[in-house]
Amino acid sequence: MIRLAEKKDIVSINDIYNQAVAARFETADIDPISYADRLKWYDLHNKTRYPVFVYEIDEKVVAWLSISPYRQGRMALRNTAEISYYVDKKYVRQGIGSQLISHGLSESKKLNYSVLIAIVLDRNNASMNILEKHGFTAWGRLPGVADFKGEICGHVYYGINLSEKPCKNSYLHFITE
């Protein structure tokens, strides 16, 4: 079941995120995030514009997805948001991430976002594959920007246009491979 996250879910959300930190190359954090920092993060996500969703199995949170501001405060980007998603390692490859992304896309349309961005480390093939499965394409690459204590990798910007009227002459897709 997918539902809006509540404060009671923060421990589970943070535990799942810190699994990604420990796995390396699944998030750009290299040290675990504290409960206090996750609580601040949660408080910045209001349920009406920047929701956080959790996926539950038997009343246990096993995954989550957030819709966050992209370049907050820059009004020309107010209809663009960033999505992030994480699945507990015990529940990967069961379609949960895919269900969350589908839900996030649907909710983003309801919130009138025209563009969604996902920023992925270039070693995270699983995340790149699932984004592509849901219609995201690679829009940009920042090579060598992430330093994992001497191991360097890049960021790949994935995007999807949700708008019925994409901007003409836009350079939304600015890389080719």
Rounded Cα distance, 144 and 131, in Å: 21
Q: What is the pLDDT of residues 112-121, one digit of tens each?
A: 999 999 999 9
Rounded Cα distance, 113 and 26, in Å: 25
Q: What is the pLDDT of residues 80-116, one digit of tens each?
A: 999 999 999 999 999 999 999 999 999 999 999 999 9
What pLDDT sits at residue 168? 54
DSSP state of 19: H
Q: Low-confidence residues of the chain, pLDDT below 70?
A: 164-177
What token pair was written down for 141?
A: 């690459």
What pLDDT sits at residue 163? 85
Rounded Cα distance, 80 and 67, in Å: 10
What pLDDT sits at residue 46? 83
> Cβ of 65: how many Cβ atoms within 10 Å?
24
What pLDDT sits at residue 169? 47
Strands (E) across 39-168 are located at: 52-57, 60-69, 80-87, 115-121, 137-148, 151-161
